Structure 1
């Protein structure tokens, strides 16, 4: 049986309060560069331990476990859009480094299907076309060999430009909403468990607006609609009844994937190349070793 030692263990609310205090303190140290920075430099994972050096011992032990598998962290702004910003940068960074044109072709087809889904649901095209166009522009820019190609440094700077970043976030929010509405019967039990509202109202109030935090439903829908596997690693205060520490993760594997050039029996084919760290209320980017 799990026994909670309140003298040493913090609640998730405690963790969130500490995290908010840390973010507020760090925000004051970050200079303004044109627009508000929404994506920070990559840091060694040891910097995460420094945040909790006088805090919960369980979290410190779990960070030690994390360092066995992950080398670095890249922080995102805690404004409610952190999941989508983290996904945006990690996906584009992956394409930039891999130059996987097959993946770009595949995702472009999926994006066109997302456009058709929104139109079939009654969305007016002018409400989302600019967001789609900017995402496709960013996607094309990370492929080498064309006039618009950018470097990794330019990708970081562009992702920090809030006018660009916010548009891409809105693209993700629209296609996530479209996927949830399209498969409303599947998502309805989860949505009602979270908010006790209809799928339509959930999408209007918790998916499409900027600044609304993302949960399991959002991640599942985005992964499914784009066909991109995502790993979320959870940093929390849980431990087993023997007092040992492990870091839990969940892999969001798309239910519908283009298997034309993929061996479905190959575990590597569905291994997520996007790894995010979740702490209560916030997502950052993790870099595996």
Structure 2
């Protein structure tokens, strides 16, 4: 068990180092300008757009970025933007996950995640949270989950899901649900997360959750994503748009990382073949400081 923990720590430390490479100053500056200008104008969730709109956004930018967008266009059909208000990761995940359930009607997945949500509720209670501080967020998420299954009295269409995701009273509550989920997971596995949190902020786990996870508007990084993925058992793929050349000499490639829940790792490790990878059905595009939703072809 100690060897496994050491291995996990080594992998996660590498991820921390890799994350720093994506924070290109010029992209951050450009993205910051976009966020400042657009945050108050665009809805929480935009319409689905072809990837050509992304190329148009960077038409005067780095040739490397334009080449990477061309590569993205080979694998992905469209992008859906979210408002750059610090909650973009959670909003992107929220819609991508609910949209997947609506389109797949995967009732087994709904039953599975309901079980995980109940475990998350127990985790928060065991950590000393008072239930009334989070119960409304949990209730609303479960209502949204039920609504995307057909045959229910309150079943909704895809257009209605889009509209609900643009409704602040619904969208913000679901974002807060995810923030509580991530915070509870980080605190539950505090020994695991502590070295990465200290490397990022030089604060304690408790303070990190209080100041950087639970408040609305606080941006997310790999710690938040790992915690949410592990707690809910949902694999997440993050595709990075940056100016790096990759590991293939001078050729341009698009990097991505799959955040695979611990439970999935253990399942794969003990399976007969041991080689089947868990394929994420939530895919997000990361540009420094912002997440949007990507749609594979």
The alignment's TM-score, normalised by the length of structure 1, stands at 0.89
Match of 1:144 among 147, 150, 161: 150
Q: When the two structures are aligned, how many residues end up with a matched partner?
A: 272
Structure 1 residue 22: Cα displacement: 3.4
Q: 1:264–1:144: structure 2 CA closer, same or farther, 3 Å change rule?
A: farther
Match of 1:13 among 25, 50, 55: 25
Counterpart secondary structure, 1:277: strand
* Residue of structure 1 in register with 2:118 after alignment: 112
* Residue of structure 2 in register with 1:4 after alignment: none
> Which residues of 2 match residues 107-256 of structure 1 at below 5 A?
107-240=113-246, 242-256=249-263
Structure 1 residue 20: Cα displacement: 3.1
* Residue of structure 1 in register with 2:53 after alignment: 47
Counterpart secondary structure, 1:223: helix
* Residue of structure 1 in register with 2:11 after alignment: none
Match of 2:294 among 278, 286, 289: 286
* Cα distance between partner residues in 1 of 2:121 and 2:36: 38
Counterpart secondary structure, 1:68: helix
Counterpart secondary structure, 2:218: coil
Q: Deviations over 1:199-229 (max 9, x none)?
A: 0111001000000100110000000000000
The alignment's TM-score, normalised by the length of structure 2, stands at 0.87
Counterpart secondary structure, 1:122: coil
Q: Which has the higher helix share?
A: 2
Q: 1:149–1:121: structure 2 CA closer, same or farther, 3 Å change rule?
A: same
Backbone CA RMSD of aligned residues: 2.0
Structure 1 residue 266: Cα displacement: 7.5
Structure 1 residue 265: Cα displacement: 4.1
Contact kept, 8 Å, 1:12 with 1:237, in 2: the verdict is yes
* Cα distance between partner residues in 1 of 2:126 and 2:29: 43
- For structure 2, the 5+ residue unaligned runs are 1-22
Q: Deviations over 1:119-155 (max 9, x none)?
A: 0000000000000000000000000001100000000
* Cα distance between partner residues in 1 of 2:77 and 2:88: 20
Q: Deviations over 1:15-51 (max 9, x none)?
A: 1222233345556765xxxxxx200000001110000
Contact kept, 8 Å, 2:39 with 2:85, in 1: the verdict is no
Q: Which range moves more in the overlay, 16-25 or 134-143?
A: 16-25
* Cα distance between partner residues in 2 of 1:43 and 1:56: 22
Q: 1:28–1:139: structure 2 CA closer, same or farther, 3 Å change rule?
A: closer
